[in-house]
Structures are given as structure tokens and as C-alpha cells.
Amino acid sequence: MVLNTRALLKTAAGVGLAASLAACAHKGPPPPADTGPPPPPPMADNGPPPPPYTGPSQAPVGAVPGSVQDFVISAGDRVYYELNADSLGAEGRQILDNQAQWLGRYPQVTVRIEGNCDERGTREYNLALGARRAEFIKTYLIQHGVAAGRITTISYGKEKPIDAGSGEDAWAKNRNGHTAITAGAVGGVNDSGQ
């Protein structure tokens, strides 16, 4: 009798399993997923609906190619000199290389090289040093393919500091050569050449 009970239990388990499988096979499709609240009721007709939101504006990043801003961002418009120096090290020469390449892409652009000094030294000394700094940049650009007729130079000496402070930080900023675009840039230039 024990043997028959076991066989009976096995048969009952098999029938139950088959019935469960059959019930699953005949189920309909799953209910639709919850997609949020129903749409709002229509409002009064005030014209066409606004376009769907597509995320933040995809305005172009960076400057307009060929503009003064592009020159400043892509090439750099200023190099810095050591105290009493009128030539540049590797970092300054890299900026001038970038300027020459940029000016090569935009042959209609003309520039003015401005030589600047810190406040120390006499006015005459700084005007002469600023002139040598501007000439160094001009010569470098010409040697790297920029036509001489596109470049003018001026020395401001210590007359136009970019930092009005007195001290090493201010002096280091004021010992510079500035390449100002004077004409031919996309979008034009303002009165200061920038």
C-alpha cells in the first residue's frame, strides 16, 4: 500500500504541474505599462501648440572661426617676457607658432604688435625695450610665413599696463607683447583693435 501511495503522489504532482503549465500557456498579453497620467483635456484654441521640448539649446560652442575671439582662444594674443628680456623662451615661441598658423589660415587679417614693459626703469628705456619686444614678435611671425606687410609694431613702454598693481605679479603681466588684430577678422574689430 505504501508503494501505491507513492505512485499516486507522483502522478498527482505531475498532473498539477501539467495543469499549471497549461494555465500559463493560455494567458493573454500582459497589461500595458503605466505611461503616466492621461493627457490633459483640450484647452481653448490659442493657436498651434508649442514645439516639444528637446533639451538645452545646441548653440555652437567656441568662437566664430576667423574672429578676434577665435584668434585669442585658438592662438593666444599675448606672450610674456622675463625682466629686461627682448626674446622669448619655448612657451612664448609656441604661442607665436600658433599665431603664425592662425594668420596663415586667414590671410586677409592684419595685426599690430604692441611691446609693453613693467613700471620699473625710465620711460625712454622702456620705450626702447618695448620696441625690441615688438620687433622680435614681428620677425618671428615673418620667419614663420606671415607677410611683413600685414604686421605693424608699436612700443607702449610702461604706458599701458594691463595690471595697475606694483609688485612681481603685476610686473610679470605687464612685460608682454600683444598681437592685436587691426583688420580683416570675421565680425570686425573694436576701436582698441581687439
CATH number at residue 102: 3.30.1330.60
Residue 76 lies in a domain: no
Stated as kind and residue range, the H or E segment containing 116 is strand 110-116
The closest of 177, 178, 175 to 83, measured between CA atoms, is 175
Those residues of the chain that have pLDDT short of 50 are 1-3, 5, 8-9, 15, 17-19, 21, 23-24, 44, 50, 53-60, 191-194
Q: Would you say residue 35 lies in a domain?
A: no
pTM: 0.67
Backbone angles phi, psi at 172, to 5 degrees: -65, -35
Q: Is residue 139 part of a domain?
A: yes
Whether residue 151 lies inside any domain: the answer is yes
Would residue 95 count as lying in a domain? yes
- What pLDDT, on a 0 to 100 scale, did the predictor assign at position 165? 95
Instruction: Give CA–CA dist 48/146, Å, rounded.
Output: 56
**Burial of 91 by CB count in 10 Å (0-12 exposed, 13-18 middle, 19+ buried)?**
exposed
Give the separation between CA 88 and CA 96, rounded to whole angstroms.
10
Helix (H) or strand (E) holding 112: strand 110-116
The domain tally of the chain equals 1
CA distance 75 to 102: 7
Residue 41: per-residue pLDDT = 54
Q: What DSSP string describes 138-178? A: HHHHHHTT--GGGEEEEEEETSS-S----SHHHHHHHSEEE
Number of Cβ within 10 Å of residue 189's Cβ equals 17
The 10 Å Cβ neighbour count of residue 132 is 16
Domain housing 162: 85-183
Residue 192's pLDDT is 45
144-189 per-position pLDDT tens digit: 999 999 999 999 999 999 999 999 999 999 999 999 999 999 998 7
